[in-house]
Amino acid sequence: MCPVLAVQAWTDRLAALLGRDRDDLTGPLFRPVDRRGQLGSLGASRHGPDARLSDAAIRDAVIRRATAAGLSPAHGHRFFTAHSTRSGFATQAAANGASERAIMDQGRWRSLQVARSYIRRGSVFTDNAAGGLGL
């Protein structure tokens, strides 16, 4: 499932759990759901339906999904973390032509030097046959 459809499916489910229309949702996009399908859990920084996922819950989810996808860290490097999503965002936004100011605003970086450190330059996606798929 593409990310856009996945978010739409999740917000539909979230709206149903909260008894609201998807267009009326406020608060965190990603919230803890317990085994019974109830919003809020012990891993949340705040309990209840408006709780956000804890840092540890996000980290664990990123690692589980990376492992399930068969990804492994490059030799000598740490495994994927929740922080990897910030680098991924900055790198892809830069590759798509976003301005440094726009990347800084979205990533909430105040320093251009720090923002640039999140943009990973590499050739893994250049001259790649999958690049023309529009994903």
Better pLDDT: 31 or 122 = 31
pLDDT at 105 over 50: yes
User: Taking a C-beta distance cutoff of 8 angstroms, is the pair 44, 62 a contact?
Assistant: no
Q: What band does 123 get if pLDDT is binned at 50, 70 and 90?
A: low
Tell me the C-alpha to C-alpha distance, in Å, between residue 65 and each of 9, 69, 79.
Answer: 18, 6, 12
- More confident: 10 or 63: 10
Q: What is the mean pLDDT of the chain?
A: 81
The structure's pTM equals: 0.57
Given a cut of 90, is residue 106 above it in pLDDT?
A: yes
Burial of 58: CB neighbours in 10 Å, binned 0-12, 13-18, 19+: middle
Residues of the chain with pLDDT > 90, as a percent, come to 26
pLDDT digits (tens, 9 = 90+) for 27-70: 888 888 777 777 775 444 456 667 788 888 888 888 888 888 88
Task: Give me the pLDDT at residue 135, please.
Answer: 63
What is the domain partition of the chain in residue ranges?
1-77, 83-122
